[in-house]
Amino acid sequence: MTRSTEQLSPALHAYLVAHSSPVDAVLAALAEETAQRFPEDQGLQIGPEQGTFMTLLTRLSGARHGIEVGTFTGYSSICIAQGLPADGHLICCDVSAEWTSVARAYWDKAGVADRVELQLGPAIGTLRALPADAAFDIAFIDADKTGYTGYWDEIVPRIRPGGIILVDNTFSHARVIDAAERSETVQAIRDFNDHAVADYRVELVMLPIGDGLTLARRK
């Protein structure tokens, strides 16, 4: 028993992954292709344990309608879509036709293309164009960090009561607690974290998965 979350060593992380449900072949191939084609950007992709967690959470919540802000090459969207029922629907927002061309190919390979709708363009505009009464069951925010608070404020009212919001990179690689760190990106994450935890519409917990994953439930 321990009263705090232990920091994971590389060996313990490998053990964790080995004792979670195995990553399917399509996701493994996508991770490999992403690393080969976009070596400088591959860190934008979530890890295997986070992907498995998101699939399980989507299934456990009974989600049918989802939205993702920041798709990159499609790993997280496949994980969410695999947790949706066959008639589920996931809107994916991204600005890169190049990155999402890979996502499109792997949505087909994963058999989830019929559940995914890609919206290319600035996500804040896509979100604001949605009906005010749009009802999503699950949302994932993992895009430009300076936009997080704006995305949150557009998404929360559109999440049904009991619905889930996941927000990635809320540790900002531990820089959020470094008083000497003054970058715009890190300050944006600090501001977002303060904004989210003070939002009376949700209850939330920040989880030490990946680079910090905030899990919120709409009241």
CATH number at residue 209: 3.40.50.150
Per the structure, the complete domain to which residue 23 belongs is given by 10-218
Residue 131 lies in a domain: yes
Residue 53 lies in a domain: yes
pLDDT at 54 over 80: yes
pLDDT at 134 over 90: no
Q: Find the mean pLDDT for residues 158-169.
A: 97
Residue 24 lies in a domain: yes
**In this structure, are strands 213-218 and 202-207 parallel, antiparallel, or unpaired?**
antiparallel
pLDDT digits (tens, 9 = 90+) for 178-204: 999 999 999 999 999 999 999 999 999
Q: Which two tokens stand for residue 181?
A: 């760190």
pTM: 0.95
pLDDT at 2 over 60: no
Q: Rounded CA gap, 141 and 45, in Å?
A: 13
Residue 3 lies in a domain: no
Q: Which two tokens stand for residue 17?
A: 């992954």
Residue 124 lies in a domain: yes
**What pLDDT does 13 receive?**
87
Q: How many structural domains is the chain composed of?
A: 1
**What pLDDT does 203 receive?**
98
Q: Find the mean pLDDT for residues 40-69.
A: 96
Q: Find the mean pLDDT for residues 141-162.
A: 97
pLDDT digits (tens, 9 = 90+) for 60-79: 999 999 999 999 999 999 99
Residue 1 lies in a domain: no
